Structures are given as structure tokens and as C-alpha cells.
Structure 1
Amino acid sequence: MRIAILSLALVLAACDGKPSTPKASPPARADAIAHETELLRITLTPEAQRRIGISTGRVTKATVAPARQVTGEIVVPPVTASGVPTSAVTDLRLIGGQQAAADGQITQASAQVRLARITLARTEALVREEAGSIRARDEATAALATAQAALAAARQQRALLGPSVSAMGEQSRPWVRVSVFASDLAAIRRGDQATIRPIGGGTTRAASAMRAPPSANSAAGTVDLFYAIDNHDHAYRIGQRVAVDLPLAGRVEGLSVLASAIVRDIHGGEWVYRRTARNQFVRQRVEVASETRGRALLSRGLRAGAEVVTTGAAELFGTEFGAAH
């Protein structure tokens, strides 16, 4: 009896009369493969690739000038060649007071010079009229020389303090201070131009090497290098941290790929998405030796000729981990 009831239920379900509709294929699918940290193979439909804007490029061999990536700080250039750059961490209240005192000393020394010149002119006139002594003229000459030396010293002291605090943010050609380890100085081409860009990416700018008074940090074992940039558009502000590519000696051979192909995880790992089939992509670990002018030089991780995603890598990263990136 129970068997008959089950058979009847199956017949009724089969004769329901509603046609079954096939499920639409999803635009993206991720299949697990047994590789590093259980990577996924991402499969995208052609429509999904067009919507994301996926584009690829080949990994090529290249010979480039190596560069060392460090960070720098935008600082205020000195007024004269013998001056000292001013950074944003300087106590501006203290330096403003010192500048005011130095300006007062210049005014005072200038007045002393004018008075000494008047005195010298009078004593010289008396000597010509044979109404004064030569000793008085010599003393007036010495007094003028002393006043002029005091004025020169006051002006030099003021120059060491840099531009006025109110004018520090209006620098059209600020300097970039770069701290590098003393052991790395021999490898840096210090007379060549460096390249700076905002941290996090942006347009790069050339920076010219500048001569400045010696500056170093003995506790950290670093030496300061200075470069000047064109900042007429005021894109950079005093105290801003920037990324700096310092040119190194020699040439390096390696594999080159567009820097936009590189994605980085929360641990700092560097990856690219390599196309393994027409609509399939796999994340592959690489190691970036340097980045220069929009291209990354790889030290390991890929072979020449491999096809990697150059546009849309961040979107694939978000697809793989199930969240927008």
C-alpha cells in the first residue's frame, strides 16, 4: 500500500505540466586549484570581460637602469647656497622669533654702517682742510669696516634661517629631503635626476640634485640627500611625504611588465593575473625589483611571453575574494 502511494506521488509530480527553465550561466565563476594558498581559477564570460574592461599584455625582457625606491619629505629651500633647508617639523614659532630678531639685527647694523660712513666723511673733510687728525680718520675708517662686517654677519645669520614663515607655503621650487643608509650611497648616482611622485600613485616629476650643507642622522645611520622640483602649480605642500626613485649605477636585465598589472595583498605580497586560457585567469605571485616610468621590473615569478592582465587586475582581485577592491 505504501509503495503504491509513493508511485502515485511521483506520477503526479511528473505530470505537473510546468516546463523546467534552464539556469542562466553566471558571468564569473571561480574554481579552486591546488596551488599557493589555495588560489582560485577565475573564469569570466566575454561579456564580463568587456564590462570590466580587461586588457592584457605580454611579459618582455628588458634592460633598464636600476632605481632605489625610498620616501622623502618636501622641505623649504634655503635662501642662499650656504643656508639650511627648513622642514615642517621645525618649531615654526621658534624660527619665526629668530627671524624677527635677525631682521632687527640687520636694521641695527645698517644704521651703524650709515653712521660710520657719515663720521668717516667728516673726518676726511677735516683732514683735507688740515683741521683734523689722521688718527681720527683712521679710527673712523676702522669703525666703518667693523660696522660693515657686523652687517654682513647679520645678513648671513638671517639667510641661514630661510624665508619668512608666511612665505614658506608659496615656494615654487621646493626641495625634497631623502634619507638613505650610508651603506647605499656608493650605489646611487648622486648627480643624476631622481623621480618623485605622490605616495599611492600619481604623476611623476623630475627632481634635480642639489648641493646642501652636510646633514645626517647618526642614530639611524642615514645621510640626507636633497633634490629640487618644479612646483609652480603648488601640487606639493611643505611637509608632504613623497615616493622617490633614486637612480643607481649599472644596468639590470629582467622581465618587464606594466606597473598596473601588479596587485598587492594586505601582507605586501605582489601578484599578477596570468591568462591561462581564453576566458580563465589565475593569480600568480611575483617579486618586483623596481618600478620606473610606469613599468615594473620583475626579479622572479614569470617567464618571458606570459600574458598577464594589465587593466582590470584590481577588479579580478575583488572577484576572487568576493568584494570590490
Structure 2
Amino acid sequence: MDRRPFPARFLPTGSRVPPQLYAVTGTCLLLLIGCQPPSKPATKAAAAPPAKVEKLAQETEIARITLSPKAEQRLGITLTSFAMQQVQRRRTFGGEATIPGGRTIIVSAPVAGAIGPPAQGQIPLPGESIQAGQAVLSLVPLLTPERDVPTPAERVQMANARATLLSALTVAKGDVARSQAEVDAAKIALNRAEQLLADQAGTARAVDDARGQWNIVTSSLTAAKEREEQLDALLTELDSPAGEAAKATPLTLHSPQSGVIRNLAVSRGQTVNAGAPLFEVLDTRTIWIRVPLYVDLLTEVDTTAAALVKPLGQRGRRAAFSAATEDAAAATLPPQTTAAQPITAPPTADPLSGTADLYYEADNASLHLRPGQRVGVEIPLQGAGEALVVSAKAILYDIYGGAWVYIKSGEHAYQRERVLIRYTAGGLAVLDQGPAPGVEAVVDGAAELYGAEFGAGK
């Protein structure tokens, strides 16, 4: 009979566990305890983190960030204070760039003719910049079609002119023949006088008289020949069947002012009538800005102060500008932002929309404004008021466009607070809502605090 012990679960109820099972179980427990590794000594206390974000109980409240002195020094945090200042109230309106009055010149054809390129270069295309006095195109004058066939009266006049020329030419030829004979006779007399003087039979006076007479008849012969040539050329031109257009000298048309070719109404080889428009030159060095305002706002804006013109969509980039100083410093203006001066222009208004127009003149040497372009115009309002301001560099924006600042809430402690911006000017943000004056806000290091709060910091 097998006397090996059975596990307890297989023993029948009421059976006694053999003592050998207890011995084996105890030995196994001792072996397991002896095989365990020795316990490790206590580790050093964990290093303190450089930044600690203390989450408040409620989700709607703002987190508070506490920095270690070393982390604060490494971030190079600088502070600025909220303050109440006298500021010039400003408001942005929509405007339109328009062509200044009297800055567009249309050049017309002085006579009928054919269009051609200038002597040097090609005809400029619309949109190209040109300088005052630059050759734009040439014009070859043409006779009108009705002048190609003379009228009966003109034929009679031409016949009379031809008869007169023939008569004068005949007289001129006779003068040439007579003068030639006189020259020959004077030459013979001069030779005779010189021979007698050489033979000591004549006098020097006779030689001088003969030479003077020869000079006179020679001059008469030269004048007679020139008169004959002129009359012959006139008669040849009168009898020539060739048209005058082929012999006409081209006229070069120049730009009357510097600017841009706005419109070119002709092309090479085209025939135009006298007075036909050829091209249009637009002076874009300055441009007008038309600002329509509701009539009830005319008394609120300062119509005598300069304004700022900027492209639409340029948000949060207003420059330092003082209404008392009309010429704003160019170095402080953001790109494509221009100072515009109020001008006197013809009064215009729109009764349907209930608006009246203000006009400003802006420099456009860089051609960043085009006629018809919509722009934003920042106009100062009447009077100055006191408002809460802070450095615009301290403002942070979240993904929803909300504006925030980090204020110093304690020793090495900072807290984020919401602000409501009215506008920015001169590097300052004018606020409608924000912390009390005197509270310090973070300028340098605000972005790093924002990243540490939301888990994106280094």
C-alpha cells in the first residue's frame, strides 16, 4: 500500500495532515526568504524643479507659477508697470486710394500720322515707369487723303507757280552765261596787264584794276549759278509725283512728367488723326486717400491732424505717432504704413449712405498703394484722455485671440491675467480693462512662462 502523503485538498474530510508536509513547507519558506536581494539604502531627496505650477481648485481660475531664483535669472525676466497716461484717442476707418487731381496727363497726336517706336528703344507698355522727357513713340506726319488729288484752283496755282519758276530759271541761266563771258573777258584783261607789266610797258595800277574787275565778275557768276540751282530744285520738287509723307521727318513724342504709363491707346504702324489720344501718364509719387465718414462722426474726429494709412489686415502694428508732430519718424513706422496729411479737396458726399468724405495725401514713391486699393486709415479723435497703458511687448495672445499678461504676484511668483486692448500706439497698449496702475508685468520671459504653464516650456 502506497503511504505517500496527499495534498490537503485531496484528503478526505476529517483526515489529519501529516507532519512531513509542514516540514517541507517551512523549508521552502526559509529558502525563499534567504534568496531575496538585500534592501537598497534610502535614495537622496529628489531635486527641486525650476518651475512649479500651482493649479487652483476651480478650472476657471488662473494658474500661479513659482520660479526658483536660478530659473528666474536664466530666463532674464524684465518687468514693466501698468500706468495711467494721457493718450490721443484714435479710430480706424476704411479708405480708398484715389488718383490725385491734375496728376494725369493724356498726350494726343499733334498732326495726322503713322505711329512708330522712338529712335532708341521700344514703345513702353502700360505699367512701366518712365521719366520726364523720355521718348515714348514717334509720329510720321501724313497728308490727308483729299490732299492727294489737287482741286482745279490748286492746279491753276501750281501751273502759275511753274510758269513763274520757268521764267525765273530762264533769266537765271542767261545771267550765268553773261557772267561767264564777263569772267572770261576779265581774265584776258588781267593776263594782258600782267604781261605788259612784265615787259615794263604797263603799270601796276592797271594790273590791280584788272584783278579787281575779275573778282567782281567771278562773284556775280557764283551768285548766278546758285540762283539757277535753287530754281531748278524748286521746279523739280513741283514736278515730282512723290508724296510728302515719304519725305516727312518723324516727330518724337516725349513724356511730359515722370510716372507710370497708365494707358497706351495706339500700337506700332497704326495711323491716327490729329488730336487722337496716344498715351496717358500717371504721376504716382503721391496719392490721395478718400475716407468716407458718417456725418455724425465728423464732429468727433480731428480733421486737421495727420493720419496713418496701412494695408487692410495689418493688425496690432500701429506705430508711434503724435498728432502734434505731423511728420512721424519713418523709423518707427511698420512696413507699408504711411503718414498722410489732410488736404483741401472738392467736397464730396453720398446722400444714400449718409457719408461725407475726408481727403488725405500720402507719399507713394515706393508704389505700395495703387489707385482703387482699400486701406485702413487711423484718424485721431477730438481731445485726449487718460487711459491705462502697458508695454505692448508684455501682451500675449492665446489661440482664440484673447490678450493676457503675466503679473508679479509675489517673490519669484507670477500669475496670468486677462487684459482688454483698445488699441496700440508708440509701443504701448492702451487698455480698456487690466490690472491696477503700478502692478508689474513681465516683458522679457513672458512667452517662457506661458510655455511652462501649459507644459510646453523647456
TM-score (norm 2): 0.44
Match of 1:194 among 282, 297, 307: 307
Cα–Cα, structure 1 residues 79 and 273, in superposed 2: closer, same or farther, change >3 Å?
Answer: same
| 1:126-275 matched pairs, under 5 angstroms | 164-165=261-262, 171-196=284-309, 199-200=314-315, 201=317, 203-204=332-333, 205-213=338-346, 223-232=356-365, 234=366, 236-238=368-370, 244-275=377-408
Decide whether the 8 Å contact of 1:76 with 1:168 is kept in 2. Answer: no
Q: Which of 13, 28, 53 matches 2:51? A: 28
Aligned equivalents of 2:92 and 2:57: distance in 1? Answer: 35
Q: Is the 8 A contact 1:269 1:285 kept in 2?
A: yes
Which residues of 2 match residues 110-129 of structure 1 at below 5 A? none
Return the alpha-carbon distance in structure 2 between the equivalents of residues 41 and 210 of structure 1: 53
One-letter identity of the residue aligned with 1:80: G
Residues 316 and 170 of structure 1: is their aligned pair in 2 closer, same or farther, counting only changes over 3 Å? Answer: farther
Amino acid at match of 2:286: R
3-state SS of the aligned residue for 2:79? Answer: strand
Aligned residue number for residue 100 of structure 2: 78
1:16 matched to 2:149: no
- Offset of 1:245 from its aligned partner? 2.8
Report the CA distance between 1:231 and its aligned residue.
Answer: 4.7
Cα separation, partners in 2 of 1:220 and 1:286, compared to 1, 3 Å: farther
TM-score scaled by length of structure 1: 0.59
- Deviation sequence 1:58-111 (CA, Å, 0-9, x none): 1112122211134556x3542528x8xxxxxxxxxxxxxxx8xx544x7579xx
Q: Distance in 1 between matches of 2:288 and 2:43?
A: 72
CA contact (8 A) 1:72 1:244 kept: yes
Q: What displacement does 1:242 show? A: 5.7
**C-alpha contact (below 8 Å) 1:69/1:290 kept by paired residues:** no
1:280 aligns with 2:303: no
Partner amino acid, structure 1, of 2:298: L
Aligned partner of 1:150 in structure 2 is none
Q: How big is each residue's C-alpha offset from its partner over 1:131-166, in whole Å with a ceiling of 9 and x where there is no partner?
A: xxxxxxxxxxxxxxxxxxxxxxxxxxxxxxx96338
Q: 3-state SS of the aligned residue for 1:229?
A: strand
Could you tell me which amino acid in structure 1 is paired with residue 410 of structure 2? Answer: A
Where structure 1 has 5 or more consecutive residues not aligned to the other structure, the ranges are 84-98, 110-161
Q: Contact between 1:65 and 1:252, CA under 8 Å: does it hold in 2?
A: yes
Aligned equivalents of 2:68 and 2:411: distance in 1? 10
Residue identity matched to 1:15? S
Q: Deviations over 1:192-215 (max 9, x none)?
A: 012345614274253212334456
| Counterpart AA for 2:100 | P
Letter of the structure 2 residue corresponding to residue 183 of structure 1? D
Pick closer, same or farther for the CA change 1:208–1:309 going to 2, 3 Å.
Answer: same
**Quick one: which amino acid aligns to residue 78 of structure 2?**
S
Task: Give the 3 Å change call, closer, same or farther, for CA 79–223 of structure 1 in structure 2.
Answer: closer
Q: Which residue of 2 aligns with 1:123?
A: none
TM-aligned CA deviation for residue 321 of structure 1:
3.4
Asked if structure 2 preserves the Cα contact closer than 8 Å seen for 1:79 and 1:163, the reply is: no
Larger Rg: 2
- Which sections of structure 2, spanning at least 5 residues, go unmatched? 1-24, 113-258, 264-279, 320-331
- The amino acid across from 1:192 in the alignment is A
Contact in 1 for aligned 2:260/2:283 (Cα 8 Å)? no
- Partner residue, 2:268: none
2:309, 2:340 within 8 Å by CA — same for their partners in 1?
yes
Contact 2:98 2:290 in 1 (8 A): no
Is the contact made by 1:69 and 1:243 (CA closer than 8 Å) also made in structure 2?
A: yes
Determine the structure 1 residue equivalent to 2:145: none
- 1-structure distance, mates of 2:418, 2:441: 12
Q: How has the CA–CA distance of structure 1 residues 67 and 217 changed in structure 2, closer, same or farther, with 3 Å as cutoff?
A: same
Aligned length: 249
Displacement after TM superposition at 1:259 (Å): 1.8
Higher-helix-fraction structure: 1
After TM superposition, give the deviation of residue 230 of structure 1 in Å. Answer: 3.6
| Other structure's SS at 2:102 match | coil
Change in Cα spacing, 1:180 to 1:322, as seen in structure 2 (3 Å) is: farther
Deviation at 1:27, TM superposition (A): 3.1
Amino acid at match of 1:164: I
Structure 1 residues 163 and 252 mapped into 2: Cα distance closer, same or farther (>3 Å)? Answer: same
Q: Amino acid of the residue matched to residue 258 of structure 1?
A: S
Match of 1:140 in 2: none
TM-align CA RMSD: 4.4
Kindly state the Cα deviation for residue 177 of structure 1 after the two structures are TM-superposed: 4.5
Aligned mates of 2:281, 2:450 — CA distance in 1: 43
| Aligned partner letter, 2:301 | I
TM-superposed CA distance for 1:44, in Å, is 3.1
Superposition pairs for residues 38-117 of structure 1, below 5 Å?
A: 38-70=61-93, 72=95, 75=97, 77-80=99-102, 103-104=107-108, 107=110
CA distance 1:292–1:108, shift in 2 (3 Å): farther
